[in-house]
Chains A and B, each alone.
Chain A
Amino acid sequence: MNSSHKKYLWVWIGFIATIGSSWAGLVILPILNLGALNEVRDEATAGIGPTPAADIIDLGREVYVSQGCMYCHSQQVRPEYAGGDQKMGWGQRRTMPEDYLNDKVALLGTMRTGPDLSNIGVRQPSEDWHLLHLYHPQITSEGSIMAPYPFLFKKQKIGDEPHPQALNLTGKYAPEAGYEVIPTREVLALVEYLKSLKKSNTPLETADPS
C-alpha cells in the first residue's frame, strides 16, 4: 500500500465519520429518545392521553395524507417564547411528542398557508361546517384560498326523498334542480379525523420536552 492509498483510506474514514456522526445524532438518538413513548395517564381525571384512535379516524388521516393537506396546514403549536401560535388561538400549550402517538405518520407540517390544525376539533366541532367548507371553502370562509374538494362528494338525482346527509347548498353553490350533493365515506372519515384533533385536551399541561 503506497502513501497515496493510505491517504485515500483516511479520506474514506472521514466520509463515513462525518455523515455517520450526524446519522447517530439525528437519526438513531431521536429513535431511542422518541421512538418508544407510552401514553400518558392523568391521575386526576383517570383519563389517558391521547385517546386511541378509531378506525374511521385512521381512514380520515389517510385521506388527509393522500390529499396533501399538510402542505398548507401545520399541526404543531410552538411554545410562547418561540412564536405567536398560542396568541393566534391555535392551542393552549405547546405540542409534545406524546401528542403524536396515535399518528401513523407525523404531520407536523412546515407551512401555514392555512391555519394550524392541532386543535381544529376544539375550535370547530361542527360536522356540517367541515363538510360545507371542504365542498367549497368560500361557502363558510369568504376570501379563502383553500382548494375545493368537490371530488370527495357525489352529485346524484334526488330519489323518493332527499338523502339525509345531503349538503345544504344555496345560491351559486347549489346543484341544478332535482339533484343533491352527498358526502362520500372518505370525506366523512376526514371530517371525523379533523374533529378528533384536540391536542391541547391531553393531560400534558406542565410537560416540557427538554
Chain B
Amino acid sequence: MSVSIAQPITTSRAQKIGESDHAKNLVERQLVDLSCKKVVSLLFATSLFWLLMGSALAIAASMKLHMPEFLGGSDWLTFGRVRPAHLNTMAYGWVSTACLGVGLWLMSRLTRVELRQGPLLWIGAISWNIGILVGTAGILRGDSTSIEWLEFPYYATPFLLISFAIFMFEIIRMMNHRQPGHVYISQWYVLAAFCWFPWLYATATILLVWFPVQAPAMPPINWWFAHNALGLWFTPVCLAAAYYLIPKVIGKPIHSYYLSMVGFWSLAFFYAWNGMHHLIGGPFPAWLISASIAASVMMLVPVITVAINHHMTMRGSFDAVRWSPTLRFVVFAAMSYTLVSIQGSTAAIRPLNQITHFTHYTVGHAHLGMYAFVTMMLFGAIYYIMPRLWNREWPSAFLIKSHFWLCVLGISLMTFSLSIGGWIQGWEMNKAEKGFMEIMQITIPYLQARSVSGGILTLAHLAFVLSFTLLLMGWSPKGGRPTLLAQPRHTETVST
C-alpha cells in the first residue's frame, strides 16, 4: 500500500493503515487457506494411509529379523520384499506426500497466490498415490529392482514423474505470480526442493531403471540419488516449515536473514555432494569417495548455521513448547536435525565408517533422520495447517500429548538400540575374532528392542490418525479456542 508524501502521516492515520493492512492480510490468508483446503487435505489424508501401511510393513520386517519364520511361508511377505516395501511406502507414500502438501501450502501462503483450482492438482495427487500403490504391489509380487530407494519397478515410476511435474509447475507458477517484495527463506527452500527432486528422480530412473548403465557405474548414481532425496527434497521442505512455523507460533521474526542465506547455499552445495559416503571401501576411484567425505564433514556449516538461527529465534520463547502442539513437534525435529547431521558427518569419516558401515548403526542413523527430524517436522506442520484449512480445532489435547510422547519414546528406543547393537556388530566384524554366527547372535536383543519401538511408534501413529479423522468428521470442541497442551503464561495471541 503506497502513501502519498504530501500528506503527513499522523498517528491515527498510521493506525488506520495498519488496521486495514491487517484486515487485508487476514482476508488474503483465508482465501489462500481455502484454496488449499481440498488438495492439501487429500495429500495429508493419503500420506497418513501410507504411514499406517509403512508401520505395518516395518513391524513385519523387524519381527522377521529375530523370528525368521514369522510370515515366512509366502514370497509376498518375505523379508527381502517387506523391507523395501516399508522403505518406499514411508519415503514416497508418507514423507513425500506430506511434503507435497506442506510445500504447496507454504508457497501459497508466502506468495499470497491462491492454489490452482480445477482438475490438474487432483490428477497430480491421485496419480502420485497410484504410483505408490502400483510400486509397492510390484515390490511385494517380486518386481523390485533391488536398487535401494528406487525399488519401484519401471511401470510405477511414470505415475510419480508425471504428478511431480504437475506439482513443480504449480510451485513455479505461484512463485512467478508472487506479491512484490521480500522473498522469505522458506520460499527459497520450497522452490528449490520442488525443482531438485524431479532432476534427481528422472536421472536415477532413466540411468538405473529404464536404460541401465553398466553395473560398475550404478552404485554412485544410486547413492547420489538416495542421499539427495533426503538432502535436497525432504530436508529443504522440512527446514522451510521450521523457518515458517517457529516465528509464526512465537510471534517473533527469524533471528538473522544473513544466517538463513548462508545456511541455504551451503546446504545446496555441500549436501548435493554427500552420497558417496555410502560406498566407502567399495570398488570406486578414491577421489569419488574422498569428495563425498569432505562434503559430509562440511555439512557442519549449514547445520550449525541453521541451529544457531533457530535457537536464537526461540530464545526467551521456549515456554511455548509447553502449550503449542506445533512448536513442540517442530522444536523436537529441529534439535534432531542438528543431532542427526552431526552424527552423519562423523559416520562419514573413514575410521568411524569402517565400524558402522554394513551394520544396524546406519539403520538407526537413517531413522533418526527420517523420523526424529523429518517425520516429527511434518507432524508439527500438519498440526498447524489442518485447523486453518478447516476452521476447526484438534479434538483432544490428550491425543496430541500421547502422540508426541509415544513418538519420543519409540524413536529414542530405536535409535539407542540400533546404534549400540550396530556398533558392537561392526566392532566385532572388524576384529574378526568371533565367528559370524556368534557376532550375529549378539545383535538379536537389540533387534528385539527395535521391534518394541516399532510397536510404540505405530501406537503413536494411530493416535494421530484418530485425531486427524475426528477433526475431518467435525468432532472438534466448540468455542473456536485452539487446543493447547497446557495453559500459556501469557494469554495474548496464542495459536496451535
Could you list which residues of chain A lie within 8 angstroms of chain B, going by C-beta atoms? 4, 8, 11, 14-15, 18-19, 21-23, 25-27, 29-31, 33-37, 64-72, 74, 76, 78-79, 82-85, 87-88, 94-115, 137, 141, 143-152, 209-210
Contacts and interface: CB of A to CB of B under 8 A. Distances in A.
B286 A210 contact: yes
Interface in B168-219: 180-181, 183, 188, 191-192, 195-196, 199-200, 203, 207, 212-219
B281 A76 contact: yes
A143 to B, nearest CB: 6
Contacts of A68: 78-81, 83-84, 144, 146
B32 interface: no
Contact of A87 (B143, B199, B216, B432): B432
B17 to A, nearest CB: 23
Contacts of A96: 283
A151 B68 contact: no
A107 B66 contact: no
B28 interface: no
Contacts of B64: 147
A145 B359 contact: no
Contacts of B405: none
17 contacts: A21-B273, A26-B221, A29-B288, A31-B207, A31-B213, A34-B220, A36-B214, A37-B216, A66-B146, A67-B75, A69-B80, A70-B80, A71-B84, A83-B429, A145-B66, A147-B79, A150-B73
A65 B84 CA distance: 12
A135 to B, nearest CB: 11
A35 B217 contact: yes
B11 interface: no
Contact count band on B: 35 or more
B69 A34 contact: no
B232 A19 contact: yes
A65 B283 contact: no
B65 A113 contact: yes
Contacts of A33: 217, 285, 288
B284 A146 contact: no
A67 B80 contact: yes
A83 B142 contact: no
Nearest to A137: B68
B66 A15 contact: no
A145 B180 contact: no
B192 to A, nearest CB: 5
B354 interface: yes
A99 B219 CA distance: 14
Q: Which residue among B74, B80, B222 has the maximum number of chain A CB atoms within 10 Å of its CB?
A: B80
